[in-house]
Amino acid sequence: MIYFMTTLKERLLEAMQDANLNKTDLWKGCGLSSGAITHWFNGETHTLKGENLLKASKILSVNPNWLATGLGKKEIQSNNNNAQSSDDFTIREYIDVRGAMGTGILLRDQPGQITGFKVNAEWINKNVPANSGKENLAVVTGFGDSMRGMFNSGDPLLIDTGVRSLDFDGVYFFRVGNEGFIKRLQRIPGDGIRAISTNKEYESWTITKDMDFEVFGRVLKVWNSEDF
């Protein structure tokens, strides 16, 4: 068998494209700094070894040996029927807010983050048929208890980041000023936009025209967990 040698940078870019991931996903998923990942893209193969190699390979769903050397098969070998299907798709965490958090976006009572999950085309078609494109789907980890009854803090929410305006009433992920919210939004003529919590212990409040308001996406699906 003849192997066509590639550079580490080429292999990283190829794997990230296949997994629909970017550099930010990679360095955050590996728990490293962006500078460490930069070494990899500069071709410094000696920095990609050991635990870091295994982490990167797992995130990118590729064979560690192929990623490090370019030799062998790229796909992870499997002896069962659980190998990744060609139509598998990774719905990634909505990381724009995480990046912006460094400049002031606050998600109160953030319990950690769900970094994404893999689905196939059939799951998307049957469970979220009304979306602006699978590339716009993202996962947000529910935070706080103001929407308890719809979801609990720490539960996954699926949002459509292609929806960036309030064209109709629904549940949205948004910010006002430097604080992030997940609320049901209802337009009130002559008043503004009413932000409504599912938890009745929280009062509704109004987003007025003078507020710094931005929609990050519309919530399409939520999971409401129970502890056993």
52 within 8 A of 30, measured Cβ to Cβ: yes
| Ramachandran assignment for 43, one of left (phi > 0), alpha (psi -120 to 50 degrees), beta (any other) | left
Which one has a higher pLDDT value, 109 or 225?
225
Give percent of the chain with pLDDT exceeding 90.
36
pLDDT, position 78: 52
Q: Are 8-81 and 89-222 the same fold in CATH? A: no
Mean pLDDT of the region 171-200: 94
pLDDT, position 183: 96
User: What is the distance between the alpha carbons of residues 158 and 127, in angstroms, rounded to a whole number?
Assistant: 11
pLDDT, position 81: 45
pLDDT, position 96: 59
User: What is the distance between the alpha carbons of residues 207 and 90, in angstroms, rounded to a whole number?
Assistant: 34
Fold type of domain 8-81: 434 Repressor (Amino-terminal Domain) (1.10.260)
100 has a pLDDT exceeding 50: no
pLDDT per position as a tens digit, 199-219: 999 999 999 999 999 999 999
Mean pLDDT of the region 143-152: 94
Tell me the residue length of the chain: 228
pLDDT, position 154: 94
Which residues on neighbouring strands pair with residue 185, listed in sequence order? Answer: 170, 195
pLDDT, position 82: 46
Token pair recorded at residue 185: 């939004």
Instruction: Please give, one letter per residue, the 3-state secondary structure of 118-168.
Output: EEEHHHHHHHCCCCCCHHHEEEEECCCCCCCCCCCCCCEEEEECCCCCCCC
What class has domain 89-222?
Answer: mainly beta
pLDDT per position as a tens digit, 40-97: 888 776 777 777 888 888 888 888 888 888 777 788 655 444 444 557 888 988 875 5
pLDDT, position 46: 72
Residue 192's identity, in one-letter code, is G
pLDDT, position 202: 96
1 has a pLDDT exceeding 50: no
152 has a pLDDT exceeding 70: yes
- Per mean pLDDT, which of 20-34, 37-51, 81-95, 165-179 is the most reliable? 165-179
Which one has a higher pLDDT value, 174 or 75?
174
- Report if pTM > 0.75: no
Domain ranges, ordered by start, for the chain: 8-81, 89-222
171 has a pLDDT exceeding 90: yes
Instruction: Please give, one letter per residue, the 3-state secondary structure of the chain.
Output: CCCCCCCHHHHHHHHHHHHCCCHHHHHHHCCCCHHHHHHHHCCCHHHCCHHHHHHHHHHHCCCHHHHHHCCCCCCCCCCCCCCCCCCEEEEEECHHHHHHHHHCCECCCCCCCCCEEEEEHHHHHHHCCCCCCHHHEEEEECCCCCCCCCCCCCCEEEEECCCCCCCCCEEEEEEECCEEEEEEEEEECCCEEEEECCCCCCCCEEECCCCCEEEEEEEEEECCCCCC
223 has a pLDDT exceeding 80: yes
Using CA atoms, how far residue 28 sits from 34, 109, 119, in Å, is 8, 21, 21
Residue 55's identity, in one-letter code, is K
